[in-house]
Structure 1
């Protein structure tokens, strides 16, 4: 496999405020403003195209600089006040200054520009972006907990922007409304405890009607702490779990079944720690669009790679002869098999495999066939997988992308192999952030 490209190290240069306001002329694909200073490109956080901004440089590289807009002379009509009081300091959201009605359209154009630039193509059909409410959408989150050494104060929240330090917050508007009192409740039950440095995180996972809090501990919890953690969960009508440094889960309270509807017929169970798409409404719309685009037929076989707990495989299975799901985590493979049984689906099989390694020697590849392929790879994309998968000669490949740059690179591979980019749309899975998810349908040229 080729070596990963290493990002250059920043030059040793002190932070400085540039003496001249700079005009931002466009967005980068990470939704940072792009301008220039003394012939050098500058990527600017908190800046929108058309704005003239004063910039504080944060990092300097040989070919470009990075900075933040600290004052704005000419405001873009797309700029809005942030919905969160912690926005200027919290490292969670980074695009609350952009009008949420315009954001999906802007994100879609950024990906289309990358596809044209690096793959030389425009999709035959461009569908409207899949969107959701801009707040209250997040059903899973990782929240840090730290007891400050100098005064014992408890900090509960997210990392500060451009920092590893934790920021104490009292609300997060992008979290599901069921979590509105999460931070206040954590403080109410934990603030008076003296030694909490072994409690490092609480991770939230919500189903449609139930949910769980998973407390990470570096040593076993005392009986007093256990009762406090149970009390927090009961106050929020969630179940309580602990996780040790070996990732062993232990329930502290009653554990009602955790599940969600992937579509109108398919209910998927999960446990705390399982990967979930964070935005339930976008996830359902994405699955519906996958069915519409793939148009599966009863005599066809679908190969679903990076299948997780069956998020795509199982809603699509009733429309196909067979579904073959492949996932790197054995735990998730077992969960997908269990979900197939729960939904009465006997035409779905699931296999565990490291998809970063060659797959052509695996039994499921050698003995299988695939009319349709669905890919939902990590940010690094699927450049090594694609040449192997195309040996199966699928008629359609649906690619779910969480990194526009990887999608553009992999699109070029698909076009060279004789496929066309038939349909494309952006999925605004993470409103108020620069994160861009896309779905792209490739069809073989005939």
Structure 2
């Protein structure tokens, strides 16, 4: 079997080595290691390989804490020390910016990171009846497979949610629709934990009673989704605490529905909002745009600074939640929300929003190419803070801002929103010269 020295990690946390001019991607290998590997897919310019043995381990290699690691596809980096994971993601960001966008920031910001365990307050878990494995399974999919991992605990979920996995397996196995319940979505809020069940058949009276009993025994709230996202409703208990998260530094509490997008890592989100506001530096009297604003995660902290904010988002539901949150937090007079498809942004549609002193951009993985392409070279915002969940599209968009729009690329840094995964979030700052 071939032996190679690992040079670096790619964007999927695979080790990279080379053999006779061909790039080899080795699962679970770390930079600096000498490894033995076995290829399972061969292409003319690259190969994908499994790790067979570590002949010279990295000092960053650790023993994975989770008993399901290697089978469950929820984590790809538990074999790497958490601090080394953060450094590796910073390098992935730098490499993407240069190799894709041919841009480099003037300064690399210190990476944002938090507790590596129990951080995941949002999760979508698959559910499946598997008789040969003892009944109902609940968990993430297995690594590169459609099968569901036989998870009995999960260290990246909050401990009280991890402790629900086995009781939920028993509950779902007892339901008459056990084979028609494909997933459960977990949302942990400030005041309650919500379990949203996707059901493909109506519950029977006995099923409903089982859910009520479980909710009261384990102090959770059940929501049901019989059809599309608009069919979601609160099942039990009907009165009770609302689903929300807080940004204490800005004296804010934001309500959300279990189908709304919110960050999975509440602690890191708080640090990210703080860093973003410091970089944006909103001042009283300024008019600031929050593009892809969601339900106001950045919009309301900006408004709390005294600036006037225009939040733009493609989802009418999220915009409605943003308006409600602005009112509930006493900020309705400083915030204006609007619905628009920013993936089809034009010079005319952007100009119709008026002039902005500064702009925050927080797009999904697709990035914000159409938006950055129509920002004016002369009358565009003097500062742009770009929060990204995909280094590749950030690099592409940064190239437009620097090369076509004349912005300085002032700073960038990684955000470890998802410890133990290869997912890299980041923040970048652009300014007019």
Question: Which TM-score band (shorter chain)?
Answer: over 0.9
Aligned partner of 1:351 in structure 2 is 338
* Change in CA separation of 1:22 and 1:239 when aligned onto 2, cut-off 3 Å: same
1:28-75 CA deviation, whole Å, 9 max, x = no partner?
233211112343111111010122222232333332121221322111
Aligned partner of 1:42 in structure 2 is 24
The Cα shift of 1:149 comes to: 6.0
Which segment drifts farther, 115-124 or 20-29? 115-124
Q: TM-score, normalised by structure 2?
A: 0.94
1:321 aligns with 2:304: no
Counterpart CA distance in 2 for 1:236 and 1:38 is 58
Aligned partner of 1:253 in structure 2 is 236
1:263-292 CA deviation, whole Å, 9 max, x = no partner?
431110111111110111110011111111
Cα RMSD for the two superposed structures? 1.8
The answer to whether the Cα contact below 8 Å between 1:213 and 1:233 also exists between their aligned partners in 2 is no
* Change in CA separation of 1:322 and 1:184 when aligned onto 2, cut-off 3 Å: same
1:106 aligns with 2:88: yes
| Richer in helix (by share) | 2
1:23 aligns with 2:5: yes
Counterpart CA distance in 2 for 1:191 and 1:409 is 48
Aligned partner of 1:434 in structure 2 is 422
Number of corresponding residues: 426
* Change in CA separation of 1:193 and 1:267 when aligned onto 2, cut-off 3 Å: closer
The answer to whether the Cα contact below 8 Å between 1:178 and 1:236 also exists between their aligned partners in 2 is no
1:394 aligns with 2:381: yes
Structure 1 residues 158-177: aligned runs within 5 Å: 158-177=140-159
Structure 1 residues 32-181: aligned runs within 5 Å: 32-148=14-130, 153-181=135-163
Aligned partner of 2:170 in structure 1 is 188
The Cα shift of 1:322 comes to: 1.4
Counterpart CA distance in 2 for 1:151 and 1:55 is 31
1:338-368 CA deviation, whole Å, 9 max, x = no partner?
0011011111111111221134444x74142
The answer to whether the Cα contact below 8 Å between 2:212 and 2:236 also exists between their aligned partners in 1 is yes
Counterpart CA distance in 2 for 1:413 and 1:295 is 23
Aligned partner of 1:262 in structure 2 is 247
The Cα shift of 1:294 comes to: 1.0
The Cα shift of 1:401 comes to: 1.0
Which segment drifts farther, 126-135 or 384-393? 384-393
1:55-101 CA deviation, whole Å, 9 max, x = no partner?
23233333212122132211111100111110110010101011002
Counterpart CA distance in 2 for 1:302 and 1:251 is 36
The Cα shift of 1:110 comes to: 2.2
1:9-34 CA deviation, whole Å, 9 max, x = no partner?
xxxxxxxxxx2222212222332111
1:369 aligns with 2:352: no
Counterpart CA distance in 2 for 1:68 and 1:56 is 5
Counterpart CA distance in 2 for 1:131 and 1:257 is 28
Aligned partner of 1:13 in structure 2 is none
Aligned partner of 1:404 in structure 2 is 391
Query: Larger relative CO (CA 8 A, sep 6+): 1 or 2?
Result: 2
The Cα shift of 1:152 comes to: 7.3
Aligned partner of 2:401 in structure 1 is 414
Counterpart CA distance in 2 for 1:151 and 1:376 is 42
* Change in CA separation of 1:238 and 1:28 when aligned onto 2, cut-off 3 Å: same
Q: TM-score, normalised by structure 1?
A: 0.91
Counterpart CA distance in 1 for 2:338 and 2:318 is 10
Which segment drifts farther, 60-69 or 171-180? 60-69
Aligned partner of 1:12 in structure 2 is none
The answer to whether the Cα contact below 8 Å between 1:138 and 1:174 also exists between their aligned partners in 2 is yes
Q: Which runs of 5+ in 2 are unaligned?
A: none
Counterpart CA distance in 2 for 1:398 and 1:156 is 39
The Cα shift of 1:325 comes to: 0.7
The Cα shift of 1:297 comes to: 1.3
